[in-house]
Structures are given as C-alpha cells and as structure tokens.
C-alpha cells in the first residue's frame, strides 16, 4: 500500500526540519520544498551551493532533506511575492496603516502556491512547521490553537480556507518548543537546537521598514513630508518627519519632548498630522474590520478576539456587520493589523482592522 505523500515547506530552521522527522516517523512519504520569496541569489550561486549570496537557509533546507533521505525542490516565488505581499506592505504603510505581511503571505504564498506545487508533484497533503492544530467539528475543518500557547501561530493563519485546512498537517501542533529542540537533538541535529531564530520581517533588512519604503516608493519624498504633531484636541505640539515613519502605539523615535511619555494614537494621511497622546488614550472598545467569515461552532463557547500576535484574547460583546465591540477596553487597536476571532481555542473568523 502506497504511503500518503506530503509536501513540506522547509525554511532550513528547526521547526520545519523536526516536522520532517515527525512526518517520516508517522509513515508519510515526504517531499521538501523551499521558497525563494525575497533574495538576490544568483542561479550560479545555487548551482555551486555556496553561501556567497546569502543562500545559507536555502541550502540548509536542501541538505537537511538529503540527510533525512527525501527529495527537495527550490521554487522561485519572488515575482508573486513582490506583487502580492511586498506591494501590499508598501501600499498599506503609504495609506497610514500598519500591515502584517505574514498573514497575507501564509494565505497567498505558503498555502496558495504550496497547494499548486503539491498538485504538480502528486502530493495529497501539505505541511509546515507552524505551531497550530486542525480540528474537525460538524464535518467542517477549523484552525485550533497549538498546545504551546507561547508559540501558537494561529493569529497569522486565520486567512486559511477550509479547503486548505483539509489538506494541511501541522506536525508540531501538539509539541512545545522545548520538546521540538529535544527531538532535534535526539536525531543528531544539535546545531538546529541552539540556532537563533529571526523575528524580523524576511524582506526588511535590519528590521528598518522606513529605509525599505524610501528605497521602494519612487515618489516617497513627495508623498512623505514633514508635518504636524497634534494632541487629541488639535493643538499643535511640534513637527514630525512624515506620517509613514510612525505606527499606532509607537513611543520611541518620535523626536519630541513633552515632559511625559507620548504615544502615537492616530495617523491622518489627508492632513499629514500625527496625533500624540498618553498610554491610556490607546484603549478602545470598538473597531471596524473587513474581510471576515464568522463560522461559529454550535451555540456554546465564549467568543474572544486578538488584535495583535502577542496580545491576550479578549471577550467580544457584539459583532454587528463589520463592527466589533469588546466587553472590556483593548489597548493599541491598529489599522492594517488583523483581528482574529476565537470560540474557545478554535479560529472562527478574522479580518483586517480598518
């Protein structure tokens, strides 16, 4: 009897590598794939397999697959990634919002393109090293929180469709990060167990999005000009360096002294004004959002929502169309970020905060 075939997205890091180990132990035929989404790697460098053009992670994924005895492919998604993810990132910032590119990348690239490649290679399933689980309820498939609550990544995956979830395996969903490190060590991959993980956006060098925008928006200097800092009453407080340099909740790098801690509370692209206020000014109980599908599971369970990856899920009072009201005030609601809705530990919807 043929083994079920699964296409595994591999980054060269510990999570996807341990996912491969677990899938092989569970009897799957694994095919590895690594995406090129944003790099300057020359084909000659790939052919030589030398780290002359920052190809270490690509080659590490390839070598890890070879070491474990399964085939591996390198797929170039750079054009699609630039059109879809990077352009959205630029457009959102230039419209005064703060995007979360990982949410869009997971839906459009890591699953949208991954499923296409899986079909081409005859793979029934796809898998990644994300910390999440999938649960079937009433003949429907739902994204469910991971066992490791500190690593749970469902916030970034809320856009996945039921069709995508039906074909997805999350090998790490029932494991903690410490357990994953131990599995790597047990299989002789000690280097991976101590390897530092990057928390930066993959296409933003040195985590400096301002320089990235300056380099990638042709008319940046015409569109992003110095303007006024104001308070919530409209009083002018000073001058800022251009609205695109700021995000809601930002405190550092404002370049203004007010005698107390100041936070960005509002960005108005039409007037080029940035409103500053106190920490408490960033609390709110309502938000508007777009693009959600609410799929409740029965009538029970508390509905909660998260507005940031590291924030706590907060009870929801009402959802009226695209307006959501929280039962308690929430800090730092930011246009462009995602609001993700949960019923107990199941993801039942989400949207982009407007």
User: What residues are annotated to the active site?
Assistant: 105, 202
320 within 8 A of 326, measured Cβ to Cβ = no
Rounded to 5 degrees, what are φ and ψ at 108? Answer: -85, -35
CA-to-CA distance for 210 and 332, rounded, in angstroms? 21
Six token digits for residue 134: 């999938």
11 within 8 A of 57, measured Cβ to Cβ = yes
Six token digits for residue 168: 């997805």
Which residues fall within 8 angstroms of residue 186, CB to CB, at 6 or more apart?
none
285 within 8 A of 326, measured Cβ to Cβ = yes
Rounded to whole angstroms, what are the CA distances from 270 to 21, 95, 134, 223, 227?
A: 53, 9, 43, 11, 11
CA-to-CA distance for 293 and 252, rounded, in angstroms? 36
């Amino acid at each position: 009897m043929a083994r079920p075939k699964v296409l595994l997205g591999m980054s060269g890091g510990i999570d996807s590598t341990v996912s491969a180990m677990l899938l092989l132990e569970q009897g799957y035929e694994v095919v590895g794939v690594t995406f090129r989404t944003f790099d300057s790697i020359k084909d000659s460098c790939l052919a030589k397999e030398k780290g002359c053009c920052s190809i270490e992670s690509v080659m590490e994924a390839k070598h890890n697959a070879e070491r474990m005895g399964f085939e591996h492919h390198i797929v170039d998604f750079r054009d699609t990634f630039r059109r879809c993810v990077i352009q959205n990132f630029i457009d959102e910032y230039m419209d005064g919002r703060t995007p979360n590119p990982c949410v869009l990348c997971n839906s459009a690239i890591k699953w949208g393109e991954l499923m296409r490649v899986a079909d081409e290679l005859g793979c029934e399933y796809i898998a990644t090293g994300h910390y999440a689980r999938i649960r079937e309820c009433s003949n429907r498939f739902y994204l469910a929180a991971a066992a490791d609550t500190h690593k749970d990544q469902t916030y970034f995956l809320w856009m996945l469709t039921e069709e995508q979830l039906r074909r997805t395996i999350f090998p790490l969903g029932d494991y903690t990060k410490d357990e994953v490190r131990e599995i790597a060590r047990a299989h002789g991959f000690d280097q991976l167990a101590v390897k530092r993980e990057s928390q930066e956006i993959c296409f933003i060098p040195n985590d400096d999005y301002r320089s990235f925008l300056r380099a990638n928006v042709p008319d940046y200097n015409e569109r992003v000009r110095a303007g006024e800092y104001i308070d919530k009453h409209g009083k002018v407080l000073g001058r800022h360096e251009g609205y695109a340099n700021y995000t809601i909740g930002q405190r550092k790098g404002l370049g203004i002294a007010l005698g107390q801690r100041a936070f960005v509370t509002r960005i108005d692209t039409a007037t080029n004004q940035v409103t500053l206020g106190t920490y408490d000014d960033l609390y709110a109980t309502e938000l508007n959002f777009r693009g959600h599908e609410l799929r409740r599971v029965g009538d029970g369970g508390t509905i909660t929502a998260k507005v940031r990856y590291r924030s706590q899920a907060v009870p929801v009072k009402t959802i009226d169309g695209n307006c959501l009201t929280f039962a308690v005030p929430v800090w730092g609601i930011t246009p462009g970020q995602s609001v993700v809705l949960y019923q107990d530990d199941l993801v039942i919807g989400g949207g982009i905060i407007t």
